[in-house]
Amino acid sequence: MLIKLTGGKLYDPENKISGEVRDIYVEDGKIVAERPDAKPDRTYDVKGRVVMAGAIDPHTHIGGGKMTIARMLLPEDHQHDLVARTDVTRAGCGHAVPSTHLAGYRYAEMGYTACFEPAMLPANARQAHMELGDTPMVDKGAFAMLGSDDFFLRQLSEKKDFEAIKDYVAWTMHASQALAVKVVNPGGISAFKFNQRKLDLDEEHVYYKVTPRQIVLNLARALQELGVTHPLHIHGCNLGVPGNIESTLETIRAADGLRMHMTHTQFLSYGTEGDKKFSSGAARLAELVNKSPNVSIDVGQVMFGQTCTASGDSMRQYAIAKSAHPKKPVVMDIECDAGCGVVPMRYRDKSFVNALQWAIGLETFLLVDDPWRMFLTTDHPNGAPFYTYPHLIRLLMDKSFRDDAFQRINADAQGASILPTITREYTLDEIAVMTRAGPARSLGLKDRGHLGIGAAGDITVYKDDPNREAMFVKPEMVFKNGELIVRNGKVVKVVQGATHVARPEYDKGIEKPLKDYFDRFHTVRMANFKLADEEIVRGDKGAIVVQPTAPRMA
């Protein structure tokens, strides 16, 4: 099957193409070289249209136990967005915590062809993959959460050989079918189980006597030496706490050249200036990020309205439970592995704090120079549901639109933000970097996020509308592996994406202490903890793509 897209303006930063008119040929799901002699089976005229690779969301909570808790928790939120079955698509509900099928459809309808769940508890990995298996249209993958699990904390506190820590990290990635590793409130989820209510970067865990700094550095180094492409994905200490910009900056400085990804930094960039002792740390963060080529970030932009926060950070989620709206927070301690907190939240533009959170996010986007190290996220659904991305893109690309929006937020927050002084407007190239090429490169997805020869035929076609929100909200066409799956913003064909994993080498000897640990302490056998390929391939009817890792370093 050969298809041809003719006359589109390509924005393909990975291949240094910026708005050039080119034809694209896709054969058997892959982009191939120009074939002027061949007769395509299907030709799509995309003259004058903007053509990009399918978008990639590197941080979106769409699958796993805490999302199903959130779904169960919020019947009143689903009520306004119920979706009936059609001849093509399944029924479900949308808004803050959409049902699995709806999440897949709506991502595709927005031009996305890959989404990554960033907080998979290894103890809950099987369910996370089941839910991702029921999320059609997009490729997917998940990051295993480590850093508050007792096996690792025991290794660290007993000063075990670093190679054994690396073996355990790699083993966990295999066992949970992960693409990357995330640390959430390093050590803090465990510390909360011992009734510690805060854990700063250099504060000792009351039981294990290790610090978040040690946890972050060990995990970051382990991943780098294991050759995993995506660096340690860090949700830092003190999330949501005024003044947390200090621990965020200190975490970046601590990296000392190690590669790291700081996630949803908006929630971690708060100062304590002003009457209300709450201020923006965006400028300080951006200054340090601009000087630190080893660091990438995503923002976790807040948008106004009802949503639900859902995080592995049980300590901090418990702390914000009093701000829940509606008032029904859920917190869990989980399996000597991790925890979670689900807190419904309504961000209001007239609230000083919420308005400033909004401004801090935008300041961060606009002050960080290098779009290759900046990914567009709302930390769905924590800052806002992912459907707000087109609006966010317009805020970034359109200064006068942004200024109008700024006029409507809380007046004190206006006084505390430098946003109006920032004149930058994102270009289409930069948007393509931030939503395609950058995440693909960072996650190590060699054949995604670009339109070069050999890339997957994941392609999004937009009308070149000066109203960028209208443009990005409703692509004219979306192709997945060369098949047309969305036309004029509606799913026309349902497909099942693949699951991307990474499998760094490890010494199988690690299973000896692990088996002993499971036998003595756990309620699940080590053999059953591990998620077999067959469960994803046969049970969930999806393919597994093993992304390459670099050779292991000592």
Partner 1 sequence: MPDTELFEDVACPFCGMLCDDLEVERSAGGLKVRKGACGRAVAGFERKLPASNPQVRGKAVSRDEAVAEAARLIGQASLPLYGGLATDVEGMRAVMALAERSGGVVDHALSEAQYRNFKVLQSVGWTMSTLTETRNRADLIIIAGTDVAALHQRFFERIVAPPASMFGVDAKKRTVVVIGKGLDKAARNAGVGEVVTLPCKPEQVGEVVGALRARLRGFTLNKLDIDGVTLADIDALAGRCRKAAYGVVVWAPGAFDFPHAELTVDQLAGLVKDLSTTQRFAGLTLGGAEGATTAASVSTWLSGYPMRVSYASGAPEFDPDRYAIARMLGEGEGDLLVWIASYSPDLVPPKTDVPTIVLGTPGMKLPKSTHVFIPIGTPGLDHAGRLIRVDSVVSLPLKDLGRAELPSAAGVLAAIEAAL
Query: Which residues contact partner 1 by CB under 8 A?
Result: 63, 65, 67-69, 71-73, 75, 78-79, 82-85, 90-93, 97-101, 121, 123-124, 126-127, 130-131, 134, 150, 192-195, 207, 318, 321, 324, 327-337, 342, 520-525, 527-528, 532, 535, 539
Pairing of strands 477-480, 483-487: antiparallel
Query: What's the closest the beta carbon of residue 343 comes to partner 1, in angstroms?
Result: 8
Q: What is the DSSP string of 175-212?
A: HHT-SEEEEETTTHHHHHHTT-----TTPPPTTT---H
Query: What's the closest the beta carbon of residue 82 comes to partner 1, in angstroms?
Result: 4
The helix/strand/coil state of 392 is helix
Nearer to partner 1, 102 or 232 (CB): 102
Nearer to partner 1, 10 or 342 (CB): 342
Query: By CB neighbour count within 10 A (0-12 exposed, 13-18 middle, 19+ buried), where does 92 fall?
Result: buried
Label each residue of 54-104 as H, E or C. CEEECCCCCCCHHHHHHHHHCHHHHCCCEECCCCCCCCEECCCCCCHHHHH
Nearer to partner 1, 42 or 525 (CB): 525
What are the residues facing 314 on neighbouring strands? Answer: none
Nearer to partner 1, 89 or 388 (CB): 89
Query: What's the closest the beta carbon of residue 131 comes to partner 1, in angstroms?
Result: 5
CA distance linking residue 112 with residue 321, whole number of Å: 32
Query: What's the closest the beta carbon of residue 158 comes to partner 1, in angstroms?
Result: 13
Q: Which of 351, 250, 253, 368 is nearest to 299 (CA)?
A: 368
CA distance linking residue 205 with residue 319, whole number of Å: 18
Q: Which of 472, 239, 469, 251 is nearest to 357 (CA)?
A: 239
Query: What's the closest the beta carbon of residue 348 comes to partner 1, in angstroms?
Result: 21
Q: Which two structure tokens, joined as six digits, stand for 194?
A: 């011992």
Question: For residue 436, how many other CB atoms are within 10 A of its CB?
Answer: 30
Q: Please give the single-letter amino acid code of residue 389.
A: Y
Nearer to partner 1, 153 or 217 (CB): 153
Query: What's the closest the beta carbon of residue 233 comes to partner 1, in angstroms?
Result: 22
H or E, element range at 154: helix 150-157
Query: What's the closest the beta carbon of residue 408 comes to partner 1, in angstroms?
Result: 31
Nearer to partner 1, 171 or 365 (CB): 171
Cβ pair 63, 100 in contact under 8 A: yes
Nearer to partner 1, 134 or 379 (CB): 134
Nearer to partner 1, 67 or 268 (CB): 67
Query: What's the closest the beta carbon of residue 73 comes to partner 1, in angstroms?
Result: 6
